[in-house]
Structures are given as structure tokens and as C-alpha cells.
Amino acid sequence: MSKPSSTDKQATLTEARQRIDSIDQQLQSLISERARWAQQVGRAKGPLKAAVEYYRPEREAQVLRGVIDRNDGPLPNAELVRLFREIMSSCLSQQQPLKIGFLGPEGTFSEQAVRKQFGHAAYGLPLGSIEEVFQEVAAGNADFGVVPVENSGQGMIQMTLDMFLVSKATICGEVELRVHQNLMSLSGELKDVKRVYSHPQSLQQCQAWLRVNLPNAERIPVSSNAEAARMARLAPESAAIAGDAAARVYGLKIVAGPIEDRSDNTTRFLVIGRSIFPRSGNDRTSLLVSVRDKPGALYDVLKPLAEHGISMNRIESRPAHTGKWQYAFFIDISGHVDDEALQAALDEMKPAAADVRVLGSYPVALP
């Protein structure tokens, strides 16, 4: 193939830029039109006060699934979803931006989850504890809260589960952040590594790998994985555990990765609110089930789910704190509480359980 001449190149550049200019004009008029229709939706709903009354997570999930279904590149699904979230975030914020409480400070994973779900036109409300997030949502000071509930390396986050035992919060959504850990250093050679820097959580997520591969290396906890990569760049005998982006950013070579002990290293967050939203078409339901302290009680409770063909995604038991019942179970199942099969199963569970509470039905996490 012959190399394009510089005149050809210039012609291509000029054409591409003209096309992009014309595309941008169309994009702009469509975005503005979308914002006007979003206003119409607001008006049709009458004079409501809070942004939360305009927000429909099930509708957003449908829009974003449509985006993924239609996508044939070149942008990856996650990038297109991100752009549409931002467009929806801007359109929604015309009424009044949503206020989202999260476990602060700013710049943490929790804030990333907030931005992934609600975009940058929402107000983030950094709070001091998971408990405070629940309280602010209950008091109406935040429209929604985002709390970590599961880290695949370390299991469920008990504090969040326990809050549902004492709070009336509902679950309105879930957000997943996927993180792969890598060992990285200047030389990229395992034999050079005398010290490993990382955030304490990341060190913990990789402890089995470290025990086998670097039994004698010193492990030094630092405030963030970015800080770890920064330290590793300053000393050839140091390495950092961090995401692969950090290696590109800090000019380090990947020694090994992924090295997390669980290969699917995802942090899962719940969006908490004060109501349960309608079906999106691909939903999950979270139940809080208190069980009487007698043999076979849990089995009896789970039987209706199996019989109605409802798949169970997670189950976690917690001491129920009530004295009366020994255990509470957090159970995630597929489907929406408005589904007939799920309704029937719930009805059949009730006699076997001391209490069955639907914490929420919400769209399954998008990429």
C-alpha cells in the first residue's frame, strides 16, 4: 500500500473537520431538544418540589441498555454509557440537581460510584460515615445515598447491611466498580522488589499472591494506590500495587497482574433512597428475611424461591439484634417485586419467616 501524500492527508483532515463541525451542530440541537423535552416531562408531572421526583432510575437503565444494544463502535460501551449518563445528568439538573450523600472525603471510590451513577451535574454530599449517609437520606437532606456493600476480595461490608436492620432505607440501584490490581515497578523485574507500597485494602486483596511470590518484601501501606505508584517511581527496589492505569500514568512496568486473590475484584455499591421504583426489565430484588430459630427454618424460607424458578444471587446472614430472632438474612434474587412469580414466592415465604421485608427492586448494574 502506498503512503498517502501530504496533500491527501490535508484533504482528509479538512474533510474530517468539516464533518465533525456539522456533527457537532446536530449534536447540540439534539441535546438542547432533549433538555426541552425533559422540561416537558417535569411540567407534566405538575409543580413538584424535589429533584428526586423527576428521577426515574428504571427509565435511565432502559435508555442505557438501549445504548449498549445499539452500539457498534468505535467507542466502548462504558464510554458511551458515561456520555449518556452525563447528558441525562445535565437534563435532569435543569429542575434542580439531585443531592447524593456518600462516604467522603471527595476523590474516593465512593465518589467515583456517585459520578458513575448520577453524572457530574448532581451535587455530591460527602459524609463522615455510612451511618450518616443513611440518616441524611432518611431525613430528606440527601435524595439518594451511595454506600459500599461488597468487595469481592473481602466479602460484604457489614456496617451497610446492619444499617438496614435499623433504618427504613430502600435500595434503588447498584453500582459496580471493577478494579484489577497489578504489581508494578521501574524495572518490571520481580527479583528487584524489596518493598511493596499500596493502600491497606489493596495489600489485603493481594495477600495470598504476595505471600507466595514476595514472602520477604516489606509491605508499606500508604494513603492511595496513586501515592504508591508515585513512591515506586522514586526507588528501583520498590514496587506498587495499583490499577494498570497507574502504570501508564507513572511510567512503571507491570511485574505481574492481575494479582488480586479473587479474580473478579469488584466493589459493589448500593444506591439507597426512600421508595421502590417500577420495573426496568432487568432487575434485582433485595430481601431482608428474619427467621425463627428452629431447625430447617432457612430451608423453608428458600423453598418458594426455588419452586418459582427465581434465582438467588447472594445470601448473607447477620445477627438480628432483636433478641427475639436469631438471624436476619440478606437475600438478593433476580426479578422485580412487581413480577408475578416473585409476588407468589414472597407470599409463600411469609408463613415460614418471622418477617420478610423487601428492601428494594432495582436495575441490575450497568457497565
Binding of residue 187 to its own copies (CB under 8 A): no
| Per CB under 8 A, 63 contacts its own copies | yes
Residue 349 Cβ vs its own copies, minimum distance, rounded to whole Å: 35
Judged by CB under 8 A, the residue of 103, 113, 114, 125 near its own copies is 125
The distance from CA 40 to its chain's CA centroid, rounded to whole angstroms, is 30
Q: Taking the chain, what is the end-to-end CA distance rounded to the nearest angstrom?
A: 39
**Which 82-111 residues touch its own copies, going by CB under 8 A?**
82-84, 86-87, 90-91, 93-94, 99, 104-107, 111
Phi, psi of 298, rounded to the nearest 5 degrees: -65, -40
Examine residue 312 and tell whether it contacts its own copies (CB under 8 A).
Answer: no
Of these, 251, 278, 281, 319, which contacts its own copies (CB under 8 A)? Answer: 251
33: left (phi over 0), alpha (psi -120 to 50) or beta: alpha
Q: Which triple of cell numbers denotes residue 212?
A: 507466595
Should residue 278 be labelled a site residue for its own copies when binding is judged by CB under 8 A? no
Kindly state the smallest distance separating residue 161's Cβ from its own copies, in Å: 25
Q: Are strands 123-127 and 99-103 parallel, antiparallel or unpaired?
A: parallel
Restricted to residues 152-181, the positions that interact with its own copies (CB under 8 A) are none
CB of 10 to its own copies, least distance (A): 8
Size of the site for its own copies (CB under 8 A): 80
Instruction: Among 48, 50, 75, 306, indicate the residue that binds its own copies (CB under 8 A).
Output: 75
List all residues 6 or more positions away from 352 whose beta carbon is below 8 Å from its beta carbon.
291, 297, 300, 301, 303, 304
Write the interaction track for its own copies spanning residues 191-230; mark x where CB under 8 A is met and - where it is not.
--------------------------------xx-xx--x
Closer CB to its own copies, residue 59 or residue 292? 59
Count of beta carbons in the 10 Å neighbourhood of residue 215: 7
Residue 53 is classified by DSSP as: G
With CA atoms as reference, report the closest residue to 115 among 91, 76, 139, 82.
82
